[in-house]
Amino acid sequence: MQRDVYMFSNGTVKRKDNTIYLVSEMDNKKRPLPVEQIENLHLFGEVNLNSAFLNFMGQKGIFVHFYNYYGFYTGSFVPREQKVSGIVTVRQSEHYLNKEKRLALAQAFVQSAAFHMIRFNRKKNNMDSEHVKEIQELQKQIASVKDVQQLMGLEGLIRQNYYQSLNELILPEFYFTERTKRPPRDPFNALISFGNTMMYTTILSEIYKTQLNPTISFLHEPSQKRFSLCLDLAEIFKPLFVDPLIVSLVNMKKIQPKHFEDYEGMVYLNEEGRKIFIASFDKKLSDTIKHRQLNRNVSYRYFIRLECYKLIKHVIGDTPYKPLRAWW
């Protein structure tokens, strides 16, 4: 079975036949990785590699994701698309260019996000929170917005209240005053940023297993410098997957203040903290739930791909898109 592989130390990536070797700079130890077992390779350290290695990754359809010293995502090597559909790209573009069609999809993403924010607070017995009540009131306005810009403003208000509700669910040493991204200014913001980064790369890998174009989005504005459809789909999965994981790690004290570093006001997870987070992230991705329509167990990772398939069916005019609303 294929899996994600992570390299945290500095070193070199080498290939011999069908085996990849991660050679650590610190102890020069070789870590063999049969290529058939790798789905995504995540490189957090300063790693030397060459074009022959990337060509091999391309042949095998393996994604290579790069992160800087602080654990922030910098980019990906994406193999040549194997699943290309001109008709899906055309229809996906049509739904972006048509204001009504674009708004309908954008509203669906925000509705699912708000649903999962409320769901998480309900599971934590936090429904009496004024912030949760405000989310519920704001959620009622989603269907009546006139354009995507107005929807983005509403989504921002929902998320502000949601982050404040998270403060009511975590240990005092992780309280934060506001969401700060570039850079994160406190440990909890650093966790959110890192968790979102891992979700974006996971979604990107799943999108490329379908015929969707990751640069054509509906809620977020398409850009030359990002895979904006990942941001759209992440709206669904951040409050369903990432945030509950973060709160759990903090409250169970698996992640502690010692797992963070501060550099000129920028707070980031250190290597030990990233390893703890990624181990839990990978485990949760593989957790399964009985799917009501498919009548079989489906992993969180596969739920992401199913969301992609639903989008495809929508844009080609097969089945109207209904975003995921967790029933478990």
What whole-number distance in Å separates Cα of residue 134 and Cα of residue 127? 11
Beta bridge partners of 7: 43
Q: ∠ at Cα 113 (110, 114), nearest 5°?
A: 90
155 is in an annotated binding site: yes
Residue 270's φ and ψ, nearest 5 degrees, are -80, 180
Say if residue 235 carries a ligand binding annotation. yes
- Residue 220 known to bind ligand: yes
In this structure, what token pair is assigned to residue 311?
């989008």
Q: How far apart are CA 245 and CA 208, in angstroms?
A: 25
Most distant CA atoms of the chain, gap in Å: 60
* Beta-bridge partners for 299: 288
132/129 Cα distance (integer angstroms): 5
Q: Find out whether 36 and 5 touch, Cβ atoms under 8 Å.
A: no
Which amino acids are annotated as binding site for Mn(2+), given as ranges? 155, 220, 235
Which amino acids are annotated as binding site, given as ranges? 155, 220, 235
